[in-house]
Amino acid sequence: MTFCVKCGKDIDSAIKGMCTECFLDGRKLTAMPHHVDVKICANCGDIGYGERWVTKDLQEAIEDAAVDSLSAIKEAKVIDVKVSSSEQEPSTHVVVVDSTLNIDGCIAEDTSATIVRLKNTVCKRCSRQLGNYYEAILQIRAGSKDVSQRTMREALRKAENIVDNQSVSNRQLFITKTEEVQGGIDVYLSSISLGKAIAKDLSDSYCAETKEASKLVGKTSDGQDMYRVTYLVRLPDFHVGDVIQFEERYFKLNRVSGNGAKVIDLMNFRERAVKRSDTPSFKVHERSEDLKEATVISKGQKEVQVLDPMNYSAVDISIPEGAEVGDTVKVARIDDALYYVP
């Protein structure tokens, strides 16, 4: 048992020799600086915290910056805050923070205020984008004039999706620009590793041919050689869903991957695997978007009767055992005969 040196009452514990009430009497418990600066990228609107930039609501960023600047006396622990702000000018906000503190089991409250100033700047990513910075070029090219624009655009969307997904965890990954050139599309990328990842993905997705070439463009600030790398992705003629000719038979191209392809034989509907090294032998007989639809007029166990879309005559075509057939089916014409395309 001790006593308060200010009021003299007996107390179990003392703060600087005083009871809690006397210690708190007239004492300022919290403090904030006169002003706090918040960096905003004038191009993308992201908020800067040192070298880190995040996407954040502006009002939330203003209030968080004020709270982060709040300090309390060492004897106190801040357990709750309430924040209010008002705009003085578009770039200046007054923020008031009401704090609830715990001091040796005693709950106290205090209020402090600061001015939050918004400072426009440009983040590193936008600075690089605006300056046309790039480390890699992804060249998406058609393997022949028969590659459809739909396939080219689809490959570009795949590349853009990969960049979008990876940039969530790394803001320095971005597309600097995209250019349509003779025979394809050039995508300028901020990172060599990003270009390599996209090239591999497109190679696996399309069984595409890929090549890589590097060029020395200078030295880094620490004297290391700096390269730019070009990744060429040459898309094949075929696309998933196409009817192809291979080894003198006709197949529907069902799937492609880094290992090769899976095809379905239109004569017996059996699936088989094709090695990647054999896929250049594929010849497109009919593209998936050009396949005709035939109306089903009757159905048996292993075949259906359809109306030929060319002359509307009734034709029997074989179907896979157990196939679910609706009002129409996809068909391909091979040697003047119709074949069901599953």
Tokens matching residue 252: 């529907």
Question: Which neighbouring-strand residues pair with 321?
Answer: none
Q: Which helix (H) or strand (E) holds 109?
A: strand 106-121
Q: What pLDDT score does 147 carry? A: 79
pLDDT of residue 52: 85
Please write the tens of the pLDDT for every residue from 229-273. Answer: 999 999 998 999 999 999 999 999 999 988 999 999 999 999 999
Please state the rounded mean pLDDT for residues 18-25.
Answer: 70
Q: What is the pLDDT of residue 269?
A: 93
**Could you tell me the two tokens for 259?**
């290992």
CA neighbor of 124 nearest in space, from 172, 193, 55, 170: 172
Cβ atoms of 134 and 52 closer than 8 Å: no
Spell out the domain ranges in the chain: 2-123, 132-235, 243-340
Phi, psi of 56 (to 5 degrees): -155, 150
pLDDT number for residue 73: 85
Question: With 90 as the cut, is the pLDDT of residue 200 above it?
Answer: yes
How would residue 148 be classed by pLDDT, with cut points 50, 70 and 90? Answer: confident
pLDDT, greater one: 136 or 319: 136
pLDDT at 1: 62
Strand, coil or helix: 335: coil
Helices 192-206, 149-167: inter-axial angle, 10-degree rounding: 140
Q: Which residues pair with 42 in a beta bridge?
A: none
